[in-house]
Structures are given as C-alpha cells and as structure tokens.
Structure 1
Amino acid sequence: MTSKNQLLKKRFTYALLILIVIAAGLLSRKTTLVPLFVGDLLYAVMMFCGIRFLLIKSGYQKIAIISLAVCYGIELAQLYQAPWINQLRSTTLGALVLGRGFLWSDMVAYTAGIAICVFIGLYKVHFQFYRKGE
C-alpha cells in the first residue's frame, strides 16, 4: 500500500516534470534547430504527466489511454473552424493549448510521446522490482 507521503512525493515529482517539459516545449519552438514534431511529442509527455498527477494511483495503460484521447481530441477539434474558437487560437495561450490546424503528423508525435512515457514507466517498475530482489 502506498502512504500519503509517497503519493505526495510522486505528485511533486510529476508537477516538477510538467514544468520542465513545458519549459522544454516552449524552448523547442524558439529555435529552428529542433524539429517541429519535438514540441508535439513534448506536449503529449506533458499531458501524460498531468493526467498521472491527477490520477496518481492509476496504471500506466489507463494514463496512456486517457492522455492519447485528450491529445487526439484536441487535434481533431482543430478541424472545427468557427470564428470564436479561431479567435482563441490566434492568442499565444490559445495556440499552445488548442493548436492551430489539424496535422496527421501531430497524431504520430503524440503517440510517440505517450509511448516513451509508458516505456520509461514500465522500465522504472521493472528495474525497481528486480532491484528489490538483490
């Protein structure tokens, strides 16, 4: 069973990761040296960490599915081009949260970002399991 202190420590870790990933994502958009898909990949990583922060006791598979659903939903919502939402998208924050236009390549980047999070999480769990056996 996980104690409250352990849950708080995990939440703090995920909150810190969210801030780091947001900073890295913003920096990735400020330079032409970083390919554009990296920002979308980091957006998915941030979403995974955010969902994990909220549902700290849930497994990686559930977090991955929810994160992908949110990322895909936001991307698909970019197909909707009403004036009011386009006005939101024209702001910096609106563009960062809602995106500007639908791209299939973004869906691939989101999938890769979530997959990386799942593999890191499963590796961490696997490593901890075998480390306890030493």
Structure 2
Amino acid sequence: MAIPKRNRLLYFFLILLTIASGLFSRTDYIPDVVYPYLGDALYAVLIYFLIGFLFPSLRPLKTLLIGIGCCFFIEIFQLYEAEWIVRIRQTRIGGLILGHGFLWSDLLAYLIGAFVAFLLEQKLLKRFFYK
C-alpha cells in the first residue's frame, strides 16, 4: 500500500504557525494554569510537523515516535550542565531550543503535544491535504 505524502507547503505554514503560537505561549496573556506546559506541548507539535516536513513519506506513527524521542532527548540533555552548553542556553534562541532545566512535567507535556499533532494529522490533515 502506498503511503500518501505530506504537502510540504502546508507543513511549512504549520511550522510557522506553531512557532508563532509557541512564542505567544510565553506572554502574559496565557493563564497561569497552562503557562508552564503550553510551550512544551507546542514544542512537541513543532518537532512533529518539522519531521513531517523533512520526511513527507514517513508514516505518522514513526513521525510520532521520532518526535517524542527528540523531545525526550533534548529534555534529558538539560541535565548536562557543562559551561559551554550553559552559555548557549543563556541566549534567547539557545534557551528556546534547548530549554533551561529538566522537569518531569515537561515529558508529559511533550507526550500530549506530540499526540495532539498526530491526531490532528490523522483526523484533518490526512483527509484534506495529503497528496
């Protein structure tokens, strides 16, 4: 059975939308109850869409598992605190990409975000926008 390909243009716009949403999630407009988790969930959504963009024929379940693996690796890597990596994390872009400190709750937020992206792709994007 042929695997439908993702529409790269659509995924490019989804990536941009997710980045904008992630930056917005770090503003004062977000309620305190979701503030600590929303950015991490959106980070996982971004990784999922980025993998889908880079590998348009990759099966959704593999995309999900690779995305979760990437997010978990980056989170666990935050336990490493060599001086050079701490300096990178202190920059705005380094902090946004690599994070600042390991939290178990971030792992749960990544799982939720990646699963939401997976479901969105399965229920909406796959039906209307795949080639």
Larger RCO (CA under 8 A, 6+ residues apart)? 2
**What is the CA distance between 1:66 and its match in structure 2?**
0.7
Tell me which residue corresponds to 2:22: 25
**Correspondence 1:99 to 2:96:** no
- The answer to which structure has the higher helix fraction is 1
**What is the CA distance between 1:114 and its match in structure 2?**
0.7
**What is the CA distance between 1:33 and its match in structure 2?**
2.6
Tell me which residue corresponds to 2:11: 14
- Partner amino acid for 1:15? F
Within-5 A mapping of 1:107-122: 107-122=107-122
Unaligned runs of 5+ in 1: 129-134
Q: What is the total number of aligned residue pairs between the two structures? A: 124
SS of structure 2 residue aligned to 1:86: helix
Tell me which residue corresponds to 2:38: 38
Q: What is the TM-score normalised by the length of structure 1?
A: 0.85
Within-5 A mapping of 1:29-108: 29-31=26-28, 33-34=30-31, 35-108=35-108
Distance 1:102 1:116, change over 3 A: same
